[in-house]
Amino acid sequence: MQAPEIDLNQAALTIDTIRLLSADAVEQANSGHPGTPMEGAPLAYLLYTRHMRYNPANPDWAGRDRFILSCGHGSMLLYSTLHLCGYDLSLDDIKQFRQFGSKTPGHPEFGHTPGVETTTGPLGQGIAVGTGMAMGARFLAEKVDPELFNYTIYALCSDGDMMEGVSAEAASLAGHLRLGNLIYLYLDNKISIEGDTSLAFSEEVATRYLAYGWHVERVTGENLLEVDAAIERAKCDPRPSLIITRTNIGQGSPNKQGTAAAHGAPLGSEELKLTKQALGRNPDEHFSVPAAVYTHMAGLKTRGVELEQQWQQKCTAKAKVNPKLADWIDSTAPDSAALDKLIPRFEAGKSVATRSASGATLNALAAGLPLMLGGSADLAPSNNSHLNGADAFSPCHAGRNIHFGIREHAMGSILNGLCHTKGLLPFGATFMIFSDYMRPPMRMAALMGIAPIYIFTHDSIGVGEDGPTHQPIEQLSSLRSVPNLTVIRPCDANETAQAWKAALLKRTGPTALILTRQGLPTLERTEANSAELLHKGAYILAAEQHPLSLILIASGSEVQHAMEARQELEKDGIGTRVVSIPSWELFEAQDAAYKEKVLPRACRKRLAIEAGLTFGWERYVGLDGAIIGMEGFGASAPGDELMQHFGFTSANVVKQARQLLAKN
């Protein structure tokens, strides 16, 4: 796509329109950030009119270039640009900025506004998600077709993005992998909310990114010819590119340009009038778009349709001779029957750590799902997340095994970027204790409704000798508190296999698999207590043999103790039911009749057992129940000793059960 020479007068008219639409929207909402849209308008104009391939009529066209507004607080820059480019975002939508139910929320939201590629808000996330998008593009280019998936990921970044640690993690990996399909433009305005960035930020960003292995240039943000040429050079460089654009926040505002006052609050009616006058506009007109601007931008929609048609024609022709491409075109979420043919079955009686069962299941699934890829934050041998026989994702080869390095935060965000790539099934693994480092991107995945799979091993004090720094206590409760995140803690190898199936079937949100380091007995199963009942979230693993007096409820490694305790209690004529509850979220999705069947209200004596924080279990044990759990941190000792010390044994379950039954 060869862009014509820039008409500087027409460009200036359009750029100022983006600035004033954005400022008007913030002013009307009496909330928002006008400064970033006003300084970033020239960059957005250049990208959308001269460099990016996209189709406003089909924002999800797979061959498009991607744009990420990493500094999501400047959302009106994106909304104004999308409106002028012909996306399904009207002027009335612009006027509804930050209002309930509008297409223009305070920060861009994926799946909510046409043309928004990912949800941004927490700074640094866009930079890291873009790294995942670039990896996804390279993977499809190598595994499916190099011509169809040669798209570029562009991002606009701020000083805040550069300060956040996640951007450093992601940029380091992007430079190592030589992701030349990344081009980031950095708004170097020297301003943050508290004032000049020199208050807390004096590093040489260009030198840092050069050290990461990036191509770096410096330009003046208002010089369209200079920025345009820098973008062209970046396209030709095999490294990821950072174009540092010296800009003035609030560009065009006579009294607030270049100050923190233009950052996080409306300009104010008087300053907005002065700004319009300074830009040659009528100060009393609001949300004004000159007819010449609409005329100038109208061709972008036609061009987009033509670009997609050309791509689709190539895709159709190539699919006739490329079976991998044909498979990609037809790729949909895996169905239950297909997964049943892939997942292994484990023999009852054997002791298997659920992390080991997960590794075996993962490899069996990957053999039949060629677009499954992922890896670990430098812990693959420990969490069994390596795909056997597959190559590594490296600077020169897009293999299926991703070595994220010790970068948990970036790993979570990169998984989100991979999820934004059609057909891919990404996973990432680490110890459960380090899930805390991943919370921001996990929350974003849940908010966006995308489906990365997290493998969290070493799930309790059973970790043992590494001690309390590595023993999860509150993490399980914390993960369960995240809306739309499905947490599954299987009790044996066959539940683990079904947990993987559940994770792959859920395509509307992320899933966390919580797995043990230590071996667990593989339980005897019948149709009545089949491991497939895991998909119900909770089920009767062992029914009472006498009239029901007590329900033992447990997840993961503690289910074995409930099963042993039941045998002891039943010998004394105490009707005891064991309920395995691998996933609260899946159980809560069941109807009331099923919940009543598993946990009948008439049985008020309930004892929950879980080697984690007791918080939240009240919903299942009620006022007359009890919980065996953790109230403090663990200790450094062999795992078996710790389980004994903290009461996670069948003997203690029996003891606590008898005490519970003795209460009135």
Q: What is the DSSP string of 22-73?
A: HHHHHHHHT-S--HHHHHHHHHHHHIIIII----TT-TT-TTS-EEEESSGG
Contacts of 500 (CB under 8 A, 6+ apart): 343, 358, 361, 362, 365, 453, 513
What is residue 3's predicted lDDT score, i.e. its pLDDT?
Answer: 75
For the chain, give the mean pLDDT.
97
Domain extents in the chain = 18-308, 336-521, 532-662
Q: Give pLDDT tens digits for 376-388.
A: 999 999 999 999 9
Helix, strand or coil, per DSSP, at residue 5: coil
> Three-state DSSP class for 321?
coil
What mean pLDDT do residues 639-643 have?
97
Cα gap 278→237, rounded to integer Å? 39
Superfamily of domain 336-521: Thiamin diphosphate (ThDP)-binding fold, Pyr/PP domains (3.40.50.970)
| Confidence label for 460 from pLDDT (cuts 50, 70 and 90) | very high
Would you say the CATH fold of 532-662 matches that of 18-308? yes
Q: Is 618 a catalytic residue?
A: no
Could you please state the CATH topology (level 3) that the domain comprising 18-308 is classified under.
Rossmann fold (3.40.50)
The tally of CA atoms less than 13 A away on the side-chain side of residue 3 is 19
pLDDT confidence of 426, banded at 50, 70, 90?
A: very high
Of 109, 408, 558, 585, catalytic: 408
What is the model's pLDDT at position 438? 98
Task: Return the HEC string of 343-373.
Answer: CCCCCCCCEEEHHHHHHHHHHHHHHHCCCEE
Share of the chain above pLDDT 70, in %: 100
Kindly state the tokens that stand for 344. 């292994």
**What distance in Å separates the CA atoms of residue 166 and residue 407, rounded to the nearest whole number?**
8
Report residue 295: phi and psi, to 5°.
-65, -45
- For residue 331, name the pLDDT band (cuts at 50, 70, 90): confident
Asked whether the predicted pLDDT for residue 2 surpasses 70, the reply is: no
Residue 1 has pLDDT above 80, yes or no: no
Q: What is the pLDDT of residue 332?
A: 81
Query: Across-strand partners of 630?
Result: 613
* Fold that domain 532-662 belongs to in CATH: Rossmann fold (3.40.50)
- The burial class, CB within 10 Å (0-12 / 13-18 / 19+), for 287 is middle
Asked if residue 425 lies in contact with residue 387, where contact means CB atoms within 8 angstroms, the answer is no
pLDDT band at residue 341 using 50, 70 and 90 as cut-offs: very high
**Close Cβ partners of 9 (under 8 Å, ≥ 6 residues apart):** none
Bridge-partner residues for 372, per DSSP?
A: 425
Question: Is residue 664's pLDDT more than 80?
Answer: no
Could you tell me if 106 and 74 are in contact, meaning their C-beta atoms sit under 8 angstroms apart?
A: no
pLDDT, tens digit, 9 for 90 and up, residues 527-556: 999 999 999 999 999 999 999 999 999 999
Distance of CA 155 to the CA centre of its chain: 17
31: left (phi over 0), alpha (psi -120 to 50) or beta: beta
CA distance 356 to 523: 16
> Residue 664, SS3?
coil
Q: What is the largest CA-CA distance in the chain?
A: 91
How far is C-alpha 220 from the geometric centre of its chain's CA atoms?
Answer: 33
Q: What does the block give as tokens for 384?
A: 């069994």
Confidence band of 522 (pLDDT split at 50, 70, 90): very high
Residue pair 513/500 in contact (Cβ under 8 Å)? The answer is yes
